[in-house]
């Protein structure tokens, strides 16, 4: 009998640090600036990326020291997952918290960190602009809805299989567990 992977047997609270970090699929969507309607609490995404986010790779360019440059970069915790209303529907933490499984493109499922980008649900491949190039008062002009969409990617990989399934003893290096 095949042993179930850790994300199917453990709650977010029960995961160790390495397991927790690996739930982030590296989509980069939380590194986009959001706008909140102060009256309704509604949140919209913009295509204005954090100053430390590389627009091509979608990775944080100074993850270890990010707080020095971007003190508002939030460290995700299980309780923060419950409180943050804008985690995208594809976010691994949100999916697990809501009782869903990870999608096929998640690196833990596919064994390949590129599948999240091949699925088209990450920030990579979308036109973004650095917050250093846009005045805050102009962020409204950059509102986008694609971070909220899963689309046809949910149906499976575009061609063939997505690679071998990983066990919890073969986790990738920590990616990011932060929100911006």
Rule CB under 6 A: which residues touch ligand SF4?
24-31, 50, 52-53, 60, 63, 66, 70, 73, 76, 87-88, 91-93, 176, 178-180
Residue nearest to ligand SF4 (CB): 180
Q: Residue 50: which residues within 8 A CB-CB, separation 6 or more?
A: 31, 32, 33, 60, 70, 73, 131, 180
CA triple 8-88-73, angle to 5 deg = 100
How far is C-alpha 145 from the geometric centre of its chain's CA atoms?
A: 15
Minimum distance, C-beta of residue 165 to ligand SF4, in the bound complex (Å): 18
Minimum distance, C-beta of residue 2 to ligand SF4, in the bound complex (Å): 25
Residue 3 or residue 147: which is nearer to ligand SF4 going by CB? 147
Minimum distance, C-beta of residue 65 to ligand SF4, in the bound complex (Å): 9
């Amino acid at each position: 009998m095949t042993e179930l992977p850790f994300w199917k047997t453990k709650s977010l609270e029960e995961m160790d640090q390495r397991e927790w970090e690996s739930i982030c699929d590296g989509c980069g969507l939380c590194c986009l600036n959001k706008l909140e309607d102060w009256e309704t609490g509604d949140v919209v995404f913009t295509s204005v990326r954090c100053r430390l986010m590389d627009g091509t790779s979608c990775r944080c360019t100074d993850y270890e020291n990010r707080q020095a440059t971007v003190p508002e970069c939030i460290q995700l915790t299980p309780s923060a997952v419950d409180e943050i209303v804008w985690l995208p529907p594809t976010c691994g933490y949100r999916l697990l918290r809501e009782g869903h499984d990870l999608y096929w493109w998640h690196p833990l499922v596919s064994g390949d960190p590129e599948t999240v980008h091949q699925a088209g649900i990450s920030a990579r491949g979308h036109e973004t602009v650095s917050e250093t190039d846009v005045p805050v008062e102009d962020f409204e002009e950059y509102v986008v809805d694609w971070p909220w969409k899963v689309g046809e990617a949910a149906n499976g990989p575009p061609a063939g299989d997505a690679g071998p399934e990983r066990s919890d003893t073969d986790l990738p290096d920590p990616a990011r567990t932060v929100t911006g």
